[in-house]
């Protein structure tokens, strides 16, 4: 008799034992065993909005692109104009197929003149690595997967800077949004970046080697205790990004979606010189305009709106929900959805079909939540 096939073992981050000791609910996320929640997603979400939350993001992919033509390679491989990014700054961008469909959305950090760090979503890291490697042919540049060397911790929320300040040699007031520099955190070397995925101020801390993560995590929790810092899981991160109108790959973005469909045409730099993968298709998409657009929905009732629910206008199906959840901040169910491009809030009565029942909704512009508003 043979044992049943249990499938491949889930990968774990350097903080896995820390999460277990904290009693986190652990789940399979893109092949990684990750914390879904610690005490509860609503409490963790609210902590980030009002105080601060601590996230383990070590499942993300880290790809280094180096060499004399690293900038030229990224200008060709990605839709952004990465050669124009200053050293110490970061850029949100995308990698697309030749037909303009999104393969992943990325953050790219320029660490030095010929040294870039490309951060990919966990589920797409292998595909991004393969695409960059293929597109590097003919360029004097090296593409190297360094994901196994890194741990990534994020501290997000209004108190993030106050918590981090006594633990780092960086003057946090001088680090602008979407900037990242080499500093120390809790005595360990780190790339410290003012980036995040919550709609709040905050920092992401890239550590190499990743084995330094437990000590840095513990130091942050200790420093954050007077400020109400709590560890937060993937569930809170999802509702935070949803309120902030930030897309999730696999929901709002996929190979059948262009940046223009998602309302993110600004990341496509058609004015940069030379060719890039997807240019012809994206030029055509920009000229034609999208057939659908990404909108926000706020329910008038209490039933949650979920991915895949049809969106109706005057009873006619006009789109589909891509992400939905009860919003702890708004106190109402919210969703993002793709609808026909010509529709707006004055086009008719909108509703969402939730298991055969039409739930009235208001169509709104994204984001649902903006810091300081």
Instruction: Give the CA dihedral 183, 189, 195, 197, nearest 10 degrees.
Output: -160
Spatial separation of the C-alpha atoms in residues 75 and 77, rounded to whole Å:
6
The residue among 126, 111, 121 whose CA lies nearest residue 65 is 111
Task: Please state, in angstroms and rounded to a whole number, the distance separating the CA atoms of residues 10 and 234.
Answer: 16
Helix axes 41-50, 234-243, angle to 10 degrees: 50
Q: Are 46 and 76 contacting, i.e. CB atoms less than 8 angstroms apart?
A: no
Q: In angstroms, how far is CA 62 from the centroid of its own chain?
A: 14
Q: Is 204 annotated as a binding residue?
A: yes
Q: In whole angstroms, what separates CA 290 from the centre of its chain?
A: 23
Rounded to whole angstroms, how far apart are CA atoms 373 and 359?
A: 28
DSSP string, 183-230: EEETTEEEEEE---SSSS-EEEEEESSGGGHHHHHHHHHHHHGGGT-E
**CA–CA separation, 39 vs 35, rounded Å?**
11
| Cα gap 107→305, rounded to integer Å | 29
Among candidate residues 162, 139, 166, the one with its CA nearest the CA of residue 72: 139
- Known binding-site residue numbers: 204
- Known binding-site residue numbers for substrate: 204
């Amino acid at each position: 008799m043979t044992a049943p096939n249990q499938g491949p073992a889930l990968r774990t981050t350097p903080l896995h034992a820390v999460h277990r000791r904290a009693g986190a609910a652990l789940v399979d996320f893109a092949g990684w065993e990750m914390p879904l929640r610690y005490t509860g997603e609503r409490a963790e979400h609210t902590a980030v909005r009002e105080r601060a939350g601590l996230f383990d993001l070590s499942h993300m992919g880290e790809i280094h692109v180096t060499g004399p033509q690293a900038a030229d390679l990224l200008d060709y491989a990605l839709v952004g104009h990465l050669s124009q990014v200053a050293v110490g700054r970061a850029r949100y961008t995308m990698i697309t197929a030749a037909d303009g469909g999104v393969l992943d959305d990325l953050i790219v950090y320029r660490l030095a003149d010929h040294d870039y760090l490309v951060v990919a979503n966990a589920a797409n890291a292998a595909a991004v690595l393969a695409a960059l490697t293929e597109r590097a042919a003919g360029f004097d540049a090296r593409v190297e997967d360094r994901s196994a060397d890194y741990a990534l911790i994020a501290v997000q929320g209004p108190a993030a800077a106050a918590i981090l300040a006594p633990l780092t040699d960086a003057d946090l007031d001088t680090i602008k949004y979407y900037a990242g520099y080499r500093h120390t955190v809790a005595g360990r070397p780190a790339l410290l970046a003012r980036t995040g995925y919550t709609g709040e101020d905050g920092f992401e801390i890239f550590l190499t080697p990743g084995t330094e993560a437990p000590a840095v995590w513990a130091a942050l929790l200790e420093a954050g205790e007077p400020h109400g810092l709590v560890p937060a899981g993937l569930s809170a991160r999802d509702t935070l990004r949803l309120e902030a109108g930030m897309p999730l790959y696999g929901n709002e973005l996929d190979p059948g979606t262009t940046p223009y469909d998602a309302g993110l045409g600004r990341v496509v730099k058609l004015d940069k010189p030379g060719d890039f993968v997807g240019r012809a298709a994206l030029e055509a998409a920009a000229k034609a305009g999208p057939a659908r657009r990404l909108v926000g929905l706020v329910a008038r009732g209490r039933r949650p709106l979920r991915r895949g629910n049809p969106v109706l206008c005057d009873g006619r199906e006009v789109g589909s929900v891509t992400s939905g959840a009860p919003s702890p901040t708004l106190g109402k169910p919210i969703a993002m959805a793709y609808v026909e491009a010509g529709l707006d809030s004055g086009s008719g009565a909108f509703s969402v079909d939730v298991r055969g029942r039409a739930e009235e909704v208001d169509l709104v512009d994204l984001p649902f939540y903006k810091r300081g508003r």
